[in-house]
Amino acid sequence: MSTRIARSTPGARAAMVIAALGLIVLAAAPWWAGRADMRLLGEIYLYLSLAVLWNLMAGYAGLVSVGQQAYVGFGGYMLFALTMFAGLHPILAILLGGVLAAAISVPIAALIFRLKGAYFAIGTWVMAEVFRLSFAQASSLGGGSGSSLPVDVVRSLADSRSGREALSYWLALGAAVTVMACVYLFLRSRRGLALTAIRDSEVAAAGLGINIWRTKLEVYVVTSAFTAIIGGLIFLQKLRISPDAAFSVNDWTAFVIFIVVIGGIGTLEGPIIGTILFFLLRETLADLGTIYLIVLGLVAIVIMLKAPKGVWGLIRSRFDLELFPLSYRVRTDAPDKGA
Amino acid sequence: MSALLSVSELQKSFGAVVVADASSFDVAQGEAVGILGPNGAGKTSLFNLITGSLRPDGGAIRFEGRDITSASAAARCKMGVARSFQIPQPFVGMTVFENALVGATQGAGLPAAEAEAHALDVLHETGLFAKANMRAGSLSLLERKRLELARALAAKPKLLLLDEIAGGLTDAECGALIDTIKRIHAKGTTIIWIEHVVHALMAVVERLIVIDFGRKIAEGEPKAIMESAEVKEIYLGIAADG
Ligand SMILES: Nc1ncnc2c1ncn2[C@@H]1O[C@H](COP(=O)(O)OP(=O)(O)OP(=O)(O)O)[C@@H](O)[C@H]1O
Ligand SMILES: [Mg+2]
């Protein structure tokens, strides 16, 4: 009898094939989808990315931040500032915004990591408010009323409007795929195994040689950088920025937490399911006005009570399913019977 | 002979509760030491201090001659100190195999293939192999205790700290556990074992330390210690088990 370790299941392989085919169809959207549908899809990709990132930080590293809008807004503002004042190409400006966000997230982490639990959450929110108030002071960026992306900057993306829309659609799709792939590959690595251990028990993880503080810092810096890049892409779609829109706790944190919690926190599949559910609800209830928010709240409460591990947790407890093959399966190949 | 672990004048209290009161003792390389004491005596707290999940108010801890009093829990594990938790702390969302793999890749720092092989070995050693693909969250309490042992072993410790892993076992299971711990000890691992199941402890350890109110009240050859008046007094109720 021999034993081997397998890391993939037939279900996961089928999911990968379906995902690859789906991706080809989605990449071709500029040829088959209308303008409004493309905008909606682009928004879905960016929300999916924010949810995957927040889930990595809160669901795995235990850093329950309610202030990631700080980095969304920062990335958005860097797009505007670096294109307008440094003359950078928008894509370059967005990437550089991510690098700068990583740099400022280190001192912020040094400050807020001293806070535990609810105090940490409050600390992140205060930080985001500091960001919002600071950018509202920047008169060259329009102060409190914000500014629009100059026409020549917009033109530098593509000459035609449809060309620009296709490009910003592909950028959003590319960002979502990149974020998913990076998080998946990270969780599959040995450091991802360590992070998953932290998710389940910090005290046991520390006792087994895992440096908790360093791991959390790395996760915080990387998610903040990616969140800023997504923020840049969000405001590249909107072409207009203001402090209230850029640092909105509702848009960039509350909805994202809703997505992750109803989908299933601490799993890679959860944010995907959550994003689909969120947009289904939003698109069907959008006409109801404020009732839409009340319904969202009710859905969140019911799911938290009935399925604390989210919809994916519910599915997973019934069927031993895994769309992303992260698990190690021990297989024993028994020799021929009677041999 | 120089000590593997040396604890000197260790002091720790939670408000009025003193859990370590100037405790000092040495553990030699390759030794198996038992720790006895009534509930709340400070036994688990002593492990927390040795592994670094608790900071002492005073005193020093040395491991292999190095002062580790201010080293992090993770650093101490990498140096070779691993423990089982009295209240099991499994990684509930991970499989039993993955739990062991964390110890092998992180604590022992083994490369992938070796880590997997070692994790499988400890699952065989601890009788958990049949459950390798189960989520740790679905294990029973006894299985969780065995997983504590497996995970600590996976980290390839020089010093293994065991906190009450024999409670609630049947005689046969307890016998198997004693054999396992003897085997681990015979391979050269130094062991400190906290246990209320006195006969299990007596079967393995070469020396006993008795703690009460955070103070070391007796230390020495197990049989002699168990017969001393002080221990009989503390263990009036529990000694029947031995
Ligand atoms: N983190 C803590 N904060 C406050 N008090 C604590 C803490 N940890 C332990 N104590 C107290 O310290 C005392 C010693 O606890 P400890 O767990 O070390 O005892 P023990 O000897 O392991 O007991 P048992 O045999 O029941 O496991 C107890 O009174 C306990 O309530
Ligand atoms: Mg205890």
Average confidence score pLDDT of chain A: 92
Cβ of residue B234 lying under 6 Å from some atom of ligand 1:
no
Identify the pLDDT of residue A338.
42
Helix A90-112 × helix A212-238 angle, to 10°: 140
Identify the pLDDT of residue B235.
67
Most confidently predicted of A139-143, A223-227, A300-304:
A223-227
C-alpha B45 to ligand 2 mean position (Å): 7
Per-residue model confidence as pLDDT tens digits over A135-148:
999 988 888 889 99
Ligand nearest to the CA of B84: 2
Identify the pLDDT of residue B241.
47
pLDDT band at residue A224, thresholds of 50, 70 and 90?
very high
Which range is least confidently modeled, A290-294, A301-305, B101-105?
A290-294
CA-based Rg of chain B, rounded to a whole angstrom?
17
The answer to whether the beta carbons of residues B166 and B55 sit under 8 Å apart is no
Q: Is residue A273 domain-resident?
A: yes
Q: Is residue A336 domain-resident?
A: no
d(C-alpha A313, C-alpha A287), whole Å: 31
Q: Is residue A31 domain-resident?
A: yes
Is B72 in contact with A208 (Cβ distance < 8 A)? Answer: no
Residue from B10, B17, B162, B235 whose mutation best tests the ligand 1 pocket (most atoms within 8 A of CB): B17
Residues of B in contact with A312 (CB under 8 A): none
Among B53, B103, B115, whose Cβ lies nearest the Cβ of A206?
A: B53
Contacts of B133 (CB under 8 A, 6+ apart): A329, A330, B95, B96, B97
**At residue A257, does pLDDT exceed 50?**
yes
Domain boundaries, chain B: 1-79+192-242
**The domain containing residue A300 runs over which residues?**
2-324
Among A200, A203, A328, whose Cβ lies nearest the Cβ of B97?
A: A328
Closest CA to A136 of A271, A11, A298, A246: A246
**At residue A335, does pLDDT exceed 70?**
no
Q: Which stretches of chain A are DSSP H helices?
A: 10-27, 29-32, 35-54, 69-85, 90-112, 117-137, 151-155, 161-188, 190-200, 202-207, 212-238, 243-246, 249, 255-263, 270-285, 291-306, 310-318
Q: CB-based contact (8 Å) between A330 and chain B?
A: yes
Q: Is residue A74 domain-resident?
A: yes
Q: CB-based contact (8 Å) between A209 and chain B?
A: yes
**At residue A36, does pLDDT exceed 60?**
yes
| Number of A–B residue contacts, CB under 8 Å | 99
Spell out, as residue ranges, where chain B has pLDDT lower than 70: 1, 235-242
d(C-alpha A166, C-alpha A35), whole Å: 9
How many domains is chain A partitioned into structurally?
1
The CATH number of residue A309's host domain is 1.10.3470
Among B52, B95, B103, whose Cβ lies nearest the Cβ of A208?
A: B103
pTM score: 0.91
The ipTM value here is 0.91
Is B74 in contact with A328 (Cβ distance < 8 A)? Answer: no
Question: How far does Cα B44 stand from its chain's mean position?
Answer: 9
**At residue A337, does pLDDT exceed 60?**
no
Identify the pLDDT of residue A289.
79
d(C-alpha A172, C-alpha A167), whole Å: 9
**Which superfamily does B1-79+192-242 belong to?**
P-loop containing nucleotide triphosphate hydrolases (3.40.50.300)
Residue B55: Cβ-neighbour burial (10 angstroms; 0-12, 13-18, 19+): exposed
Is A206 in contact with B89 (Cβ distance < 8 A)? Answer: no
Q: Is residue A335 domain-resident?
A: no
Residues of B in contact with A3 (CB under 8 A): 120
Q: When comparing pLDDT for A68 and B22, which is higher?
A: A68
**pLDDT over 70, % of chain A:** 98
Per-residue model confidence as pLDDT tens digits over A80-137:
999 999 999 999 999 999 999 999 999 999 999 999 989 999 999 999 999 999 999 9
Is B93 in contact with A206 (Cβ distance < 8 A)? Answer: no
Give the residue from A208, A265, A324, A330 with the most B CB atoms within 10 Å of its CB, the best one to mutate. A208
Is A210 in contact with B74 (Cβ distance < 8 A)? Answer: yes
Cβ of residue B16 lying under 6 Å from some atom of ligand 1:
no
Q: Which stretches of chain B are DSSP H helices?
A: 43-51, 73-79, 96-102, 112-125, 141-154, 171-186, 198-204, 222-227, 229-234
Is B116 in contact with A328 (Cβ distance < 8 A)? Answer: yes
